[in-house]
Chain A
Amino acid sequence: MLKNATRLIRTPLLTVTSRSQHSLPKLDYPVEGGVPPCISPKQLDYHYNKHHKTYIDKLNGLLPGSEFEGKPLDQIIVETAFDQKHTQVFNNAAQHFNHSFYWKCMTPNGSEFKGEIANAINKQYGSLDSFKKQFTEQAVALFGSGWAWLILKDNQISIWKSSNAGTPFVENAIPLLTCDVWEHAYYLDHQNRRPEYLKTFWDVVNWDFVNQQLVEASSIKHMSE
């Protein structure tokens, strides 16, 4: 299952690896526009060009000469996940992945809720509103820094929380949707009002991407069977 998960991550991810130098993935929307109505241009600029970039720079600084040089991102993450000796590598690599995934989960002014994902959510949670409520509750209840996820595990979708740099595929789960709840993700726009940030997050979710994740995950599963 883990092998399938990592195979999935490689394809849709834009993380460019060339000669062990990781770099910022290109966004599908201009930084100067922000991601209305959730993220202002200034917030997006800081988050993307400072925070995300710093994780990548640190990762690139740690790799040369190490056993992880030249390896793809998902492999680095999986190999360092439970290894205390390489916590720094894991933190930066996982945050690089998490942020790259987060950018894809959003699109200015959102998108239509349809497709396989709509069926799955309605089946599991009854309605989109009910799902949003539960996801928001989990995201708001997360103490400290971390991420709220919608994941696919054991053929079922569920809501999952991770602390700091935690990422689902080291737990044998496939990420479908994520929301960054580290304070740096929303502080300039919403300060301490995390529920308000979550509310506007729903207006920017890129359901096409989420749907694509689900469809690809299911197809890989069928291939392995």
Chain B
Amino acid sequence: MLKRTTWSLPHISLLTNTKRTLYGMPVLGYPIEKGCAKLLTPRLLDYHYNKHHRVILEKLNRLIEGTRFQGQPIDQVIKETELSDVSAAIHYYANEHFNHCFYWKSISPNPHKPYGTLKNYLNNDLRSYDVLKKEFMSKATSHFGSGWIWLVLFQHDYLEFRTYSNSENPLTDDCIPLMACDLWEHAYYLDYQNNRQKYLERFWDSIDWGFVNANLEESIKQSAVRLGGETMEQLHPRFTVNRDAPFEVTQKLQNIRIAKGVVTNKVYFDKSVQERIDRGEKFSYRDQDEFESADSDDEDYDEEFEKKL
């Protein structure tokens, strides 16, 4: 298994708006004038985005212009400057630019509830949704000083909340970032002053789980691409179908069926479905329900989970 997950996502460049040679401000998914629902007033959002984040970005671009870092994906810059004294400032500003880009995507005025692969992970997690929230609240409120709290994927299996000080983030840690929450005072001061608890309660209700799911599925795809061939069975069997991907069976390996852009567990196939797959029939996401065996507990579990939300 991978010890240190090297995570280089093409979509990070989109996330941090890397065009040509310098970085740009990410486009927000919601208008600044409206703020972000109950979480951020327009004034706070405006300050955080246009003053803090923009200043960080300008400083970063000024520092990397003309250096070998110009034009590189930001995660690469962050990893290469991690242990360097000379490039400490680049490391700091690159971290903060990345963190803030992730933050803007982690929240939404109309957030998605958990679905897809993420929902599978949550279903199989021993902790309930409320317990996860308690973990998040307790770690985030007890963090002292400036920093961030991230939801991360550890060893392809475990969802964890990790706090980091100042500008540090999972890119230089052994886990994969899924969601970020800014704990620096500037992130909440204008609206909440020292009431970090209230900010975090509202943040939890604003988490866009669709973004979390996208990161999770992307990291799984990346792992699949990297591991390749016969080692596919090392991948976790909890993967599910991407809603948008067409379902095509291309390969059969031991206990795992690999489909193009999709990994499913053979446990869910019964004989008649198997025959259809062998004939080369095309399926869509909606057909997945057919694939689940009658003995599967998942249907009941889903209902319970839905109720909790």
Measured CB to CB, the residues of A under 8 A from B are 46, 50-51, 54, 87, 91, 143-146, 163-165, 182-184, 187-188, 191-192
Which of the residues A50, A143, A145 comes within 8 Å of B194, measured between beta carbons?
A50
A192 contacts across to B, CB distance below 8 A: 47, 51-52, 55, 186
Cβ contact within 8 Å between A143 and B186: no
Measured CB to CB, the residues of B under 8 A from A are 47, 51-52, 55, 92, 144-147, 165-167, 184-186, 189-190, 193-194
Cβ contact within 8 Å between A184 and B194: yes
Which of the residues A54, A145, A191 comes within 8 Å of B146, measured between beta carbons?
A145
Instruction: Evaluate whether A165 and B144 lie within 8 angstroms (CB atoms) in the complex, with A143-B92, A184-B189, A187-B185 already known.
Output: yes
Cβ contact within 8 Å between B145 and A144: yes
Return 25 A-B CB contacts under 8 Å, by A number. A50-B193, A50-B194, A87-B144, A143-B166, A144-B166, A144-B167, A144-B184, A145-B146, A145-B185, A164-B144, A165-B144, A165-B145, A182-B145, A183-B186, A184-B185, A184-B189, A184-B194, A187-B185, A188-B189, A188-B190, A191-B47, A191-B51, A192-B51, A192-B52, A192-B55
The smallest C-beta distance from A61 to any residue of chain B, in angstroms, reads 14
Cβ contact within 8 Å between B185 and A182: yes
A54 contacts across to B, CB distance below 8 A: 194
Give the docked Cα–Cα distance between A91 and B143 (Å).
Answer: 11
The smallest C-beta distance from B90 to any residue of chain A, in angstroms, reads 13
Give the docked Cα–Cα distance between A122 and B98 (Å).
Answer: 43
Task: Pick the 10 closest A-B CB pairs, nearest first.
Answer: A183-B185, A164-B145, A144-B166, A144-B146, A187-B189, A145-B145, A145-B146, A50-B194, A192-B51, A183-B186
A144 contacts across to B, CB distance below 8 A: 145-147, 165-167, 184
The smallest C-beta distance from B43 to any residue of chain A, in angstroms, reads 10
A163 contacts across to B, CB distance below 8 A: 145
Give the docked Cα–Cα distance between A165 and B190 (Å).
Answer: 23
Give the docked Cα–Cα distance between A188 and B188 (Å).
Answer: 11
Give the docked Cα–Cα distance between A191 and B46 (Å).
Answer: 12
Cβ contact within 8 Å between B189 and A183: yes
The smallest C-beta distance from B81 to any residue of chain A, in angstroms, reads 14
Give the docked Cα–Cα distance between A165 and B146 (Å).
Answer: 11
B193 contacts across to A, CB distance below 8 A: 46, 50, 184
B166 contacts across to A, CB distance below 8 A: 143-144
Give the docked Cα–Cα distance between A192 and B56 (Å).
Answer: 11
A51 contacts across to B, CB distance below 8 A: 194
The smallest C-beta distance from B281 to any residue of chain A, in angstroms, reads 57
A87 contacts across to B, CB distance below 8 A: 144
Give the docked Cα–Cα distance between A187 and B184 (Å).
Answer: 11
B186 contacts across to A, CB distance below 8 A: 183, 187, 191-192
The smallest C-beta distance from B292 to any residue of chain A, in angstroms, reads 49
Give the docked Cα–Cα distance between A183 and B194 (Å).
Answer: 11
A46 contacts across to B, CB distance below 8 A: 193-194
B51 contacts across to A, CB distance below 8 A: 191-192
A-B contacts besides A144-B166, A192-B51, 20 pairs, CB < 8 Å: A50-B193, A50-B194, A54-B194, A91-B144, A143-B92, A144-B184, A145-B145, A145-B146, A146-B145, A183-B146, A183-B184, A183-B185, A184-B189, A184-B194, A188-B189, A188-B190, A191-B186, A191-B190, A192-B55, A192-B186
Give the docked Cα–Cα distance between A191 and B50 (Å).
Answer: 12
Nearest opposing residue in chain B for A53, CB measure: B194
A184 contacts across to B, CB distance below 8 A: 185, 189, 193-194
B194 contacts across to A, CB distance below 8 A: 46, 50-51, 54, 184
A188 contacts across to B, CB distance below 8 A: 189-190
Give the docked Cα–Cα distance between A182 and B183 (Å).
Answer: 13
Give the docked Cα–Cα distance between A191 and B49 (Å).
Answer: 13
Give the docked Cα–Cα distance between A170 and B23 (Å).
Answer: 42
Residue of B55, B144, B166, B190 ringed by the most chain A CB atoms within 10 A: B144
Give the docked Cα–Cα distance between A164 and B146 (Å).
Answer: 8
Give the docked Cα–Cα distance between A80 and B190 (Å).
Answer: 33
Give the docked Cα–Cα distance between A143 and B193 (Å).
Answer: 20
Give the docked Cα–Cα distance between A191 and B51 (Å).
Answer: 9
B190 contacts across to A, CB distance below 8 A: 187-188, 191
Give the docked Cα–Cα distance between A83 and B184 (Å).
Answer: 25
A191 contacts across to B, CB distance below 8 A: 47, 51, 186, 190
Residue of A91, A182, A191 ringed by the most chain B CB atoms within 10 A: A191
The smallest C-beta distance from B148 to any residue of chain A, in angstroms, reads 11
Nearest opposing residue in chain A for B51, CB measure: A192
B52 contacts across to A, CB distance below 8 A: 192
A146 contacts across to B, CB distance below 8 A: 145
B165 contacts across to A, CB distance below 8 A: 144
Residue of A87, A146, A182, A192 ringed by the most chain B CB atoms within 10 A: A192
